[in-house]
């Protein structure tokens, strides 16, 4: 699921509402225990479930490195699924 928040016509509350809507729909998906959204600099935009907002920088770094694995330089940062035994 993708959300483009680069629309300058949206107010802060509208952007926040749009992000909340996406987070809520993702966390309701079967098997999803946590969802974290971060910007390109690792700033946590939102988190739900067991996702730790303090890990946003690490998650961003993993996604950036995952993108580097692609041969297509125009590809977007991939959706990254992280599993841990303690979750």
- In whole angstroms, what is the distance from residue 56 CA to residue 64 CA? 12
Closest CA to 56 of 72, 42, 35, 68: 42
Q: Count up the domains in the chain and report the number.
A: 1
Domain coverage including residue 59: 12-68
What confidence score (pLDDT) does residue 2 get?
Answer: 47
What confidence score (pLDDT) does residue 38 get?
Answer: 92
Phi, psi (deg, nearest 5) at residue 20: -60, -40
CATH number at residue 23: 3.30.450.30
Would residue 5 count as lying in a domain? no
pTM score of the predicted model? 0.71
For residues 24-37, give the mean pLDDT.
Answer: 93
pLDDT confidence band for 43 (50 / 70 / 90): very high
What confidence score (pLDDT) does residue 21 get?
Answer: 93
What confidence score (pLDDT) does residue 70 get?
Answer: 79
Would residue 51 count as lying in a domain? yes
Phi, psi (deg, nearest 5) at residue 41: -100, 0
């Amino acid at each position: 699921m993708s959300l483009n928040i680069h629309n300058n016509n949206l107010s802060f509350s509208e952007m926040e509402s749009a992000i909340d809507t996406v987070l809520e729909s993702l966390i309701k998906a079967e098997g999803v225990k946590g969802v974290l959204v971060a910007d390109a600099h690792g700033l946590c935009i939102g988190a739900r479930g067991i996702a730790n907002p303090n890990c946003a920088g690490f998650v961003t770094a993993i996604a950036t490195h995952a993108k580097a694995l692609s041969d297509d330089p125009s590809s977007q940062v991939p959706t990254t699924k992280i599993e841990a035994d303690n979750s």
